[in-house]
Chain A
Amino acid sequence: DIQMTQSPSSLSASVGDRVTITCRASQSISSYLNWYQQKPGKAPKLLIYAASSLQSGVPSRFSGSGSGTDFTLTISSLQPEDFATYYCQQSYSTLLTFGQGTRLEIK
Protein backbone atom coordinates (compact mmCIF):
# COMPACT_ATOMS: atom_id res chain seq x y z
CA ASP A 1 0.00 0.00 0.00
CA ILE A 2 1.06 3.57 -0.61
CA GLN A 3 0.77 5.48 2.66
CA MET A 4 -0.22 9.12 2.53
CA THR A 5 0.81 11.31 5.47
CA GLN A 6 -0.54 14.82 5.91
CA SER A 7 0.83 17.54 8.12
CA PRO A 8 -0.26 19.16 10.21
CA SER A 9 -3.22 17.09 11.44
CA SER A 10 -4.90 20.28 12.57
CA LEU A 11 -4.28 23.95 12.02
CA SER A 12 -5.70 27.17 13.42
CA ALA A 13 -5.67 30.21 11.18
CA SER A 14 -7.41 33.52 10.65
CA VAL A 15 -9.39 34.91 7.75
CA GLY A 16 -6.94 36.37 5.26
CA ASP A 17 -4.05 34.09 6.26
CA ARG A 18 -2.00 32.11 3.77
CA VAL A 19 -2.11 28.43 4.67
CA THR A 20 -0.11 25.47 3.43
CA ILE A 21 -0.91 21.80 4.02
CA THR A 22 1.63 19.13 3.18
CA CYS A 23 1.09 15.57 1.96
CA ARG A 24 3.85 13.00 1.68
CA ALA A 25 3.60 9.66 -0.12
CA SER A 26 5.50 6.58 1.02
CA GLN A 27 6.78 6.10 -2.55
CA SER A 28 6.84 8.13 -5.70
CA ILE A 29 3.39 8.73 -7.18
CA SER A 30 4.43 11.10 -9.98
CA SER A 31 1.62 13.68 -10.11
CA TYR A 32 -1.23 11.29 -9.27
CA LEU A 33 -2.30 13.35 -6.28
CA ASN A 34 -5.69 14.89 -5.57
CA TRP A 35 -6.96 17.22 -2.86
CA TYR A 36 -10.48 17.26 -1.42
CA GLN A 37 -12.30 19.56 0.98
CA GLN A 38 -14.91 18.18 3.35
CA LYS A 39 -17.26 20.16 5.54
CA PRO A 40 -19.17 18.58 8.45
CA GLY A 41 -22.03 16.37 7.29
CA LYS A 42 -21.13 16.81 3.63
CA ALA A 43 -19.45 14.73 0.99
CA PRO A 44 -15.86 15.52 0.00
CA LYS A 45 -15.43 18.03 -2.80
CA LEU A 46 -12.62 17.84 -5.36
CA LEU A 47 -10.35 20.90 -5.29
CA ILE A 48 -7.16 19.94 -7.09
CA TYR A 49 -6.34 16.99 -9.34
CA ALA A 50 -3.10 15.80 -10.91
CA ALA A 51 -1.23 17.63 -8.15
CA SER A 52 -1.73 21.13 -9.54
CA SER A 53 -4.82 21.33 -11.77
CA LEU A 54 -7.66 23.39 -10.36
CA GLN A 55 -11.05 21.71 -10.63
CA SER A 56 -13.65 23.72 -12.49
CA GLY A 57 -15.52 26.12 -10.24
CA VAL A 58 -12.96 26.07 -7.42
CA PRO A 59 -11.69 29.53 -6.40
CA SER A 60 -8.23 30.46 -7.61
CA ARG A 61 -7.01 31.05 -4.05
CA PHE A 62 -6.55 27.28 -3.92
CA SER A 63 -3.42 25.89 -5.53
CA GLY A 64 -1.47 22.66 -5.47
CA SER A 65 2.12 21.78 -6.21
CA GLY A 66 4.59 18.95 -6.01
CA SER A 67 5.49 15.68 -7.66
CA GLY A 68 7.10 12.41 -6.66
CA THR A 69 6.55 12.09 -2.93
CA ASP A 70 6.00 15.63 -1.62
CA PHE A 71 2.96 17.77 -2.30
CA THR A 72 1.39 20.93 -0.95
CA LEU A 73 -2.04 22.53 -0.95
CA THR A 74 -1.97 26.29 -0.49
CA ILE A 75 -4.84 28.63 0.26
CA SER A 76 -3.60 32.11 -0.53
CA SER A 77 -6.08 34.10 1.55
CA LEU A 78 -8.39 32.18 3.84
CA GLN A 79 -12.08 32.89 3.55
CA PRO A 80 -14.70 31.95 6.18
CA GLU A 81 -16.05 29.17 3.97
CA ASP A 82 -12.61 27.50 3.78
CA PHE A 83 -12.68 26.21 7.34
CA ALA A 84 -13.05 22.48 6.79
CA THR A 85 -11.06 19.25 6.68
CA TYR A 86 -8.74 18.64 3.75
CA TYR A 87 -7.65 15.26 2.41
CA CYS A 88 -5.01 14.27 -0.08
CA GLN A 89 -5.48 11.08 -2.11
CA GLN A 90 -3.17 9.18 -4.42
CA SER A 91 -4.40 7.55 -7.61
CA TYR A 92 -1.06 6.13 -8.78
CA SER A 93 -1.85 2.67 -7.47
CA THR A 94 -4.97 0.60 -8.14
CA LEU A 95 -5.35 0.64 -4.34
CA LEU A 96 -6.46 4.20 -3.75
CA THR A 97 -5.44 5.71 -0.42
CA PHE A 98 -6.21 8.95 1.42
CA GLY A 99 -4.23 10.96 3.89
CA GLN A 100 -5.58 11.13 7.42
CA GLY A 101 -6.91 14.63 6.92
CA THR A 102 -6.01 18.14 8.07
CA ARG A 103 -8.61 20.00 10.07
CA LEU A 104 -8.46 23.74 9.44
CA GLU A 105 -10.03 25.71 12.27
CA ILE A 106 -10.70 29.36 12.92
CA LYS A 107 -8.22 31.05 15.25
Chain B
Amino acid sequence: QVQLQESGPGLVKPSQTLSLTCTVSGGSISSGSYYWSWIRQPAGKGLEWIGRIYTSGSTNYNPSLKSRVTISVDTSKNQFSLKLSSVTAADTAVYYCAREEAAGYYYMDVWGKGTTVTVSS
Protein backbone atom coordinates (compact mmCIF):
# COMPACT_ATOMS: atom_id res chain seq x y z
CA GLN B 1 0.00 0.00 0.00
CA VAL B 2 1.00 3.64 -0.33
CA GLN B 3 3.50 4.93 2.23
CA LEU B 4 4.84 8.42 2.81
CA GLN B 5 8.19 9.43 4.26
CA GLU B 6 9.27 12.96 5.18
CA SER B 7 12.90 14.02 4.91
CA GLY B 8 14.92 17.18 5.39
CA PRO B 9 17.06 19.10 7.85
CA GLY B 10 16.09 18.82 11.49
CA LEU B 11 17.59 22.19 12.37
CA VAL B 12 17.03 25.46 10.52
CA LYS B 13 18.37 28.88 11.46
CA PRO B 14 15.99 31.80 11.99
CA SER B 15 15.21 33.79 8.83
CA GLN B 16 16.26 30.88 6.62
CA THR B 17 14.06 28.62 4.49
CA LEU B 18 12.77 25.30 5.77
CA SER B 19 12.75 22.67 3.03
CA LEU B 20 11.15 19.25 3.39
CA THR B 21 10.42 16.46 0.94
CA CYS B 22 7.81 13.73 1.11
CA THR B 23 8.59 10.56 -0.83
CA VAL B 24 5.65 8.45 -1.95
CA SER B 25 6.18 4.70 -2.24
CA GLY B 26 3.83 1.90 -3.20
CA GLY B 27 1.98 3.97 -5.77
CA SER B 28 2.31 6.80 -8.26
CA ILE B 29 1.88 10.37 -7.07
CA SER B 30 0.28 11.14 -10.44
CA SER B 31 -2.45 8.51 -10.38
CA GLY B 32 -5.90 8.83 -8.91
CA SER B 33 -7.66 11.85 -7.44
CA TYR B 34 -5.54 12.98 -4.55
CA TYR B 35 -4.26 16.06 -2.86
CA TRP B 36 -0.84 15.88 -1.25
CA SER B 37 -0.76 17.86 1.98
CA TRP B 38 1.54 19.23 4.64
CA ILE B 39 0.43 19.53 8.27
CA ARG B 40 2.43 20.58 11.29
CA GLN B 41 2.16 20.19 15.06
CA PRO B 42 4.14 22.19 17.62
CA ALA B 43 5.13 20.18 20.67
CA GLY B 44 2.15 19.61 22.93
CA LYS B 45 -0.24 21.44 20.61
CA GLY B 46 -2.81 20.69 17.94
CA LEU B 47 -2.64 20.12 14.21
CA GLU B 48 -2.25 22.97 11.74
CA TRP B 49 -2.83 22.44 8.04
CA ILE B 50 -0.17 24.18 5.94
CA GLY B 51 -1.29 23.53 2.39
CA ARG B 52 -1.72 20.99 -0.39
CA ILE B 53 -1.07 20.30 -4.03
CA TYR B 54 -3.32 18.40 -6.39
CA THR B 55 -2.07 15.87 -8.92
CA SER B 56 -2.66 18.55 -11.60
CA GLY B 57 -0.31 20.91 -9.76
CA SER B 58 -2.91 23.31 -8.39
CA THR B 59 -2.33 24.42 -4.81
CA ASN B 60 -4.20 25.64 -1.74
CA TYR B 61 -2.43 27.28 1.18
CA ASN B 62 -3.34 28.30 4.71
CA PRO B 63 -3.73 32.10 4.49
CA SER B 64 -1.84 32.48 7.76
CA LEU B 65 1.27 31.04 6.05
CA LYS B 66 0.56 31.72 2.39
CA SER B 67 3.13 34.49 1.92
CA ARG B 68 5.91 32.15 3.08
CA VAL B 69 4.85 28.74 1.73
CA THR B 70 5.49 26.95 -1.54
CA ILE B 71 4.41 23.38 -2.20
CA SER B 72 5.58 21.65 -5.36
CA VAL B 73 5.54 18.18 -6.88
CA ASP B 74 8.19 16.21 -8.75
CA THR B 75 6.41 13.38 -10.51
CA SER B 76 9.67 11.93 -11.88
CA LYS B 77 10.85 11.30 -8.32
CA ASN B 78 7.39 10.54 -6.89
CA GLN B 79 7.90 13.31 -4.35
CA PHE B 80 6.30 16.52 -3.22
CA SER B 81 8.00 19.26 -1.28
CA LEU B 82 7.43 22.08 1.20
CA LYS B 83 9.36 25.31 1.40
CA LEU B 84 8.68 27.73 4.25
CA SER B 85 10.66 30.95 4.15
CA SER B 86 11.71 33.42 6.82
CA VAL B 87 11.28 30.92 9.62
CA THR B 88 11.14 31.82 13.30
CA ALA B 89 11.03 29.80 16.49
CA ALA B 90 7.25 29.65 16.05
CA ASP B 91 7.79 27.36 13.07
CA THR B 92 9.39 24.69 15.29
CA ALA B 93 7.14 21.64 15.01
CA VAL B 94 6.70 18.10 13.82
CA TYR B 95 5.89 18.28 10.10
CA TYR B 96 3.71 15.61 8.52
CA CYS B 97 2.93 14.90 4.91
CA ALA B 98 -0.34 13.21 4.04
CA ARG B 99 -2.38 11.95 1.11
CA GLU B 100 -5.88 13.39 0.87
CA GLU B 101 -8.54 11.47 -0.98
CA ALA B 102 -10.31 13.90 -3.30
CA ALA B 103 -13.02 11.92 -5.07
CA GLY B 104 -16.29 13.09 -3.54
CA TYR B 105 -15.43 13.61 0.10
CA TYR B 106 -12.00 14.74 1.18
CA TYR B 107 -10.00 13.07 3.93
CA MET B 108 -6.37 12.34 4.79
CA ASP B 109 -6.07 8.57 4.76
CA VAL B 110 -2.30 8.07 4.56
CA TRP B 111 0.21 9.95 6.71
CA GLY B 112 3.97 9.99 7.00
CA LYS B 113 5.54 9.36 10.38
CA GLY B 114 6.51 13.00 10.74
CA THR B 115 9.79 14.82 11.00
CA THR B 116 10.82 17.23 13.72
CA VAL B 117 12.11 20.61 12.63
CA THR B 118 13.68 22.98 15.15
CA VAL B 119 14.31 26.62 14.32
CA SER B 120 17.27 27.85 16.32
CA SER B 121 20.55 29.62 15.81
Contacts and interface: CB of A to CB of B under 8 A. Distances in A.
A49 B107 contact: yes
A44 B111 contact: yes
Q: Chain B interface secondary structure, helix, strand, loop or mixed?
A: strand
A46 B108 contact: yes
Contact of A95 (B62, B105, B108, B113): B62
A43 B46 contact: no
Interface in B39-87: 46-49, 52, 60, 62-63
Contact of A50 (B100, B107, B108, B112): B107
A36 B98 CA distance: 13
B107 A34 contact: yes
Contacts of A34: 107-108
B105 A32 contact: yes
A39 B112 CA distance: 14
A100 B46 CA distance: 6
Interface of B: 37, 46-49, 52, 60, 62-63, 96, 100-101, 104-109, 111-114
Interface of A: 1, 31-32, 34, 36, 38, 42-46, 49-50, 53, 55, 87, 89, 91, 94-101
27 contacts: A1-B63, A31-B105, A32-B106, A38-B47, A42-B113, A43-B96, A43-B111, A43-B113, A44-B47, A44-B96, A45-B111, A46-B108, A49-B101, A49-B107, A49-B109, A50-B107, A53-B105, A87-B47, A89-B107, A91-B100, A94-B60, A95-B60, A95-B63, A96-B49, A96-B52, A97-B49, A101-B47
CB-CB nearest 3 A-B residue pairs: A91-B106, A49-B107, A43-B111
